[in-house]
Amino acid sequence: MTDIKGNIDEKDKILNTSAPVQESSSPMTEHELLDPDKMYEELEDKIKKSCHGMDIGRIRAAYEMARTAHSGQKRKDGSPYVTHCVAAADISVDMGLDEDSIIAALLHDVIEDTSLTHSDIAKQFGTAVADIVEGVTKLTRVQYTSKEDEQMENLRKMLMAMAKDIRVILIKIADRLHNMRTMAYQSPAKQRSKSLETMEIYAPIAHRLGMQKAKWELEDLSLQYLDPAGYKEITDALAKKMPTLEKFMENMKQKIEKRLEAEGCKASIFYRIKHVYSIYRKMYSQKLSINGIFDLCAFRVIVDTIPECYNVLGIIHDMFKPVPGRFKDYISTPKPNMYQSVHTTVIGSEGIPFEVQIRTWEMHHTAEYGVAAHWKYKMSDGGNSVKTGDEDKFAWIRRLLESQQESDAQDFFHNLKIDMFADEVFVFSPKGDVINLPAGATPIDFAYSIHSDVGNHMVGAKVNGRIVTFDHKLQNGDIVEIRTSNSAPGPSRDWLNVAKSGSARTKIKQWYKKERREDNILRGSQMLFDELKHLGMSAEEVLCEEVMTPVLKRLSFATREDLYAAIGYGGVTVGRVANRLKDELKNLKPDPKKSVLDKVSQAAERREQNARKEKKGVHGVLVEGLDNCLVKFSRCCTPVPGDDIVGFITRGQGVSIHRRDCENYQKRMGNPGTDGRWVKVDWAKQITDSYVTTIVINAKDRSGLVMDIATVFNSLNAKVRTLSSKDTGGGQACTVVSLEVKNSGELRYIMNRLSSIAGVSSVERNGR
C-alpha cells in the first residue's frame, strides 16, 4: 500500500483506545494478496469468532464458486482476482452483515465478469443472494451515448435495488472501499476518475446511510489521488503536531474520567483527530492553514442510557467553558441517517477548543455502521427477524425513487445529489413534527415535503409567526406554517428555480405535466425553436423525420408532442434535446441524389401537406409538428377555411390563427422579438364546422339601410351573430356584422350580394 494508508493506520493506532466495536482489519500483505486460500481461511476464522450461527459450509461453497468462476483473472497487482472478492467479504464481516450478505460479497462480480448467471446463483444459494449480486452488477451490456449516462443509469439501478434490499449498497461500499485501498496499482487517470466518483457518490451515500467509518476512509483515500500535495501537507503537519496533541488529549481524558468517576457516572472515553479530508475541507472553505484550525481534537463519551448523556453534558459544561452556538442535540432530533449524539465544543485548560460527543452504546453502533448496525443487533439478539420499525428507517430510499421515477437519468442524478448528499436543515411544523430538508430549502420545499396537495394549493407561508416570501431560506429550528386555498391556481413555473429539493421540483413538474399539457406542448415547442435558432440551425432541417425519429427513440418519447410537453414542464432540458438533434443531423450521411434537392423537398412538402389535410385537426386547423394543441381564431382578422393562414404561439393561450393579409401579421412578422413564434398552419381536408367572421359595410346613410342588409342575410339563410350600425359623419354609415360561414367561398358570395344594395360603397373583411 501507499504512504497514506500507513499514515492513517499509525494515526489510528496512536489515537484510538480499544473499544467493543470491532475495527476493520488492517491491509493484507503482498504475500497474502497472492494467496486467496490463506485469505479465505482468515476470513473463515473471523466469521467463527464474531458471527455465531452462520453456515460455514454454505459460505465456503460460495468461495469455491467465486474462485472457479474467476479462475485465470488477475488484478492489477498480479494477484488472483478472487482475492478482491474475499476482501469485500472481509469488510462485510467487519460491518456485521448477515450470512447472505457475505455470500453475495464473495460472488458480487461473477455475473458481470464471468459466465455465471442469476439463475446459477439462485439455484445454489437462493433468490435473495442472486438478487443482491444482480443489484451490485453494473449495466455493462447496455450501450450508452456517454460515460455520464452510463454512470447515472448504473446508480439508478443500484438505488432501485437498494429499495428492495439495502444490503446491495452495503456490499457495493465494501467493494469500493477495497478498490480504493488498492488504487495504487491503477493508472493515474483511473486513480483520479475513480476517486472523483467515490467522493461524489459513494462517500456521500455512506454518510446518508450513517456509515461514518466507511465514509471517512473513502474520503481520505480519494483525497490522496485528487490532491496528493494537499493530502501530504496535512499528514505531515499532523505528524509534527502529534506529540503535543496526544499529550493534550490524554490529559483531558484523565480529567474527564476523574470527574465522571467522582460523580458516579460510568462511561467509556475515546479521543481522535479530525480525519484528513475534514481538515482539508475546512482549510479550503475558510482559507486557513492547519495552524488556524483549533478544533482538531474530538472526544467521545459513551454511556448506557439517554439520561446519562444529558448528565454528562452538564458535567462537561461545568468543567470547561462551552463555545456559544456550538451545541447540537441529535438525540432529541436525530439526523435522517439515524445518527444520534449530543455535540458540544468547549475550551480546554490550555485554551485549546475541542469537541465532545456524548452517546449511548446503541447510538455508537449506529453512528459507526449506520444501517449495517441493523444486522449486528439481529445477530446479537440470536435471531434473524427484522426489528420493528426498520422498514421506516429505509423508507426514505423508496420515497426518493418514487419522486424521481419520471425523471431522465441526468435529472435523477442532479436531484439525487441534492436530496441525498446536501447538508440539511431541520424545521418544525406547527404541531411540532420535525421535517428535514436540504440546506437552503424554502417554504415551497417544506410544503411539498408534507404532501403534493399542500404544495399545489399553497398561497402563502409563515415562519416563526411572520409572513415570508416563497424564496425565504429556512434555518434550523424554524416553525413553518403553510397557508393553502382550494382556489389556488397551482404552482408557478418560477417555483422550479426557487425549490431546493429534488422531490419538490419533481412534484411541480408532475403537476404541470398532468394539468397543463397543451400549454406545455406550445411552450416546449417554442423553447426548442428558439434554442435551434440560437444555435444557428433551421427548424425545418432539424425537425424532419430522419432526425427526429432516432432522437425520440433515444430519449424515450413516443411522439413529438410528448417531447415538446416534457421540455415545457421541465422533464428534459431544451439544451439536451437540441444537442441530440444537432448530433443526429451530423450523423446523417450525405445522399448523392441530393442534386435534385429542391424538387425532392417540394414533393415531400406536398406529400406532408396532403397527409396533414387527411387529419381532422383542432377546429379544422393543423399546426405543423403538433397534434391536439389549443387553437383559437384571432379577432383582428377572423379567418375562415379557404383563407391563407399562419399561426402565432401565444403565452399560455395556444396557437392564434391569423390571415396572412392581416394587418397585425404584416406589422409583426419582421419583428425579431416575435419572429420565432410564427408557425406554419393549414386547413384540414375535411371540415364540417361553421366559423365566425366579421365584415364591415360602408354605405350612404339613408332610411331603411339596415333593413335592406338584414333582408339579404335572411334570403341567404346566413346566421348573423351581431349587427350594429352607426353614423360616421358626412352622410355615411358603417355597419359591422358578425356571422357564421362554412368557408371563404360562401363568405365571398354573401359579400357580393351585399355590394348590390343601393348606396353601398364597399364591403370588406375586418383586419385589412
User: How many angstroms separate the CA atoms of 505 and 177, rounded?
Assistant: 33
DSSP state for residue 199 in the 8-state scheme:
I
User: Confidence band (pLDDT; 50, 70, 90) for 590?
Assistant: low
pLDDT digits (tens, 9 = 90+) for 339-355: 889 999 888 777 778 88
For the ranges 208-217, 245-254, 380-389, 560-569, the one whose mean pLDDT is highest:
245-254
Question: What is the per-residue pLDDT for 383?
Answer: 40
Question: What is the per-residue pLDDT for 599?
Answer: 45
What are the residue ranges of helices labelled H in 623-704? 663-668
Active-site residue flag, 112: yes
Task: Please provide residue 254's backbone torsions phi and psi, each rounded to the nearest 5 degrees.
Answer: -65, -40
- Whether 556 has a pLDDT exceeding 70, the answer reads yes
Question: What is the per-residue pLDDT for 19?
Answer: 31
Which residues make Cβ contacts (< 8 Å) with residue 396, sequence separation at least 6? 336
Which of 296-305, 609-618, 750-759 is least confident?
609-618
- Whether 683 has a pLDDT exceeding 60, the answer reads yes
DSSP letters along 396-427, please? HHHHHHHHHTTS-HHHHHHHHIIIIIS-EEEE
Sole residue written with cell 339579404: 712
Question: What is the per-residue pLDDT for 3?
Answer: 36
- Whether 139 has a pLDDT exceeding 50, the answer reads no
pLDDT digits (tens, 9 = 90+) for 164-215: 777 888 898 999 999 999 999 889 989 998 998 888 888 888 887 778 888 8
What average pLDDT does this structure show over 324-345? 83
- Whether 701 has a pLDDT exceeding 60, the answer reads yes
The end-to-end CA distance of the chain, in Å, is 85
Question: What is the per-residue pLDDT for 628?
Answer: 65
User: Confidence band (pLDDT; 50, 70, 90) for 160?
Assistant: low
Residue 207 half-sphere exposure toward CB, CA atoms < 13 A: 18
pLDDT digits (tens, 9 = 90+) for 33-48: 568 899 999 999 999 8
Task: Please provide residue 471's backbone torsions phi and psi, each rounded to the nearest 5 degrees.
Answer: -95, 10
- Whether 17 has a pLDDT exceeding 80, the answer reads no
What average pLDDT does this structure show over 434-449? 86
- Whether 62 has a pLDDT exceeding 90, the answer reads yes
Question: What is the per-residue pLDDT for 153?
Answer: 64
Question: What is the per-residue pLDDT for 309?
Answer: 93
Q: b/e string for 379-414 if b means 16 or more Cβ within 10 A?
A: beeeeeeeeeeeeebeebbeebbebbeebbbebbbb
Which residues make Cβ contacts (< 8 Å) with residue 201, sequence separation at least 6? 155
What average pLDDT does this structure show over 328-335? 84
The residue among 613 and 231 whose pLDDT is bigger is: 231
CA distances from 556 to 550, 572, 578, 579 (A): 10, 11, 15, 16
Question: What is the per-residue pLDDT for 715?
Answer: 78
Q: How far is CA 567 from the centre of its chain?
A: 16
Select which of 32, 35, 42, 112 is catalytic. 112
Select which of 42, 113, 304, 362 is catalytic. 113
For the ranges 145-154, 384-393, 431-440, the one whose mean pLDDT is highest:
431-440
Which of 72-81, 226-235, 616-625 is least confident?
616-625
Active-site residue flag, 113: yes
Question: What is the per-residue pLDDT for 415?
Answer: 56
Q: Strands 631-633, 655-659: parallel, antiparallel or unpaired by DSSP? A: parallel
Strand order in the sheet with 719-729: 719-729, 732-741, 691-700, 760-765
